[in-house]
Structure 1
Amino acid sequence: MADLKTADRDALDSSTFAFAKQRKEPLENASHVRNAIARFNQVKDVSDDERDAAWKRIKAAAKKHGVDVQEKSWREIGKG
């Protein structure tokens, strides 16, 4: 996985994170997108609306970085 140094992570705009308000799960490259999907259900203290918004950002980043996403909704993660 591509690591982000703290200074680099702090310099990212909030919109480049799946969970923008919490600045959780950066979406800078394909590796980060796959990691955001894998860790999606581990993010705590977020509402379903925040999860919906995060899923939209993940899907957009996946398309941009060529990552195939099987799930249609975040609610399907880990169900298949």
Structure 2
Amino acid sequence: MEEKIRIETPYIALGQLLKEVGVADTGGMVKIILAEYNVYVNDEHEVRRGRKLYPGDRVEVEDTGTFIVEEA
């Protein structure tokens, strides 16, 4: 299932998005998730928690869901 995430800023970091949607509670958990789960941004494997996400970007987290970044 795809969940739409609205942002009011030009971009959001991948780590911030993962915390925002409840996949991770802390930055440390974000590191663990990126190391142990397959996370894809626009169908490309991603391990950088600082990756900037812009409206239209699609984030898939293994066993968790898909998130679409939208402009508020």
- State the TM-score, normalizing by the size of structure 1: 0.29
Higher relative strand content: 2
**Which structure's CA Rg is the greater one?**
1
Higher relative helix content: 1
* Higher-RCO chain (CA-CA 8 Å, sequence separation at least 6): 2
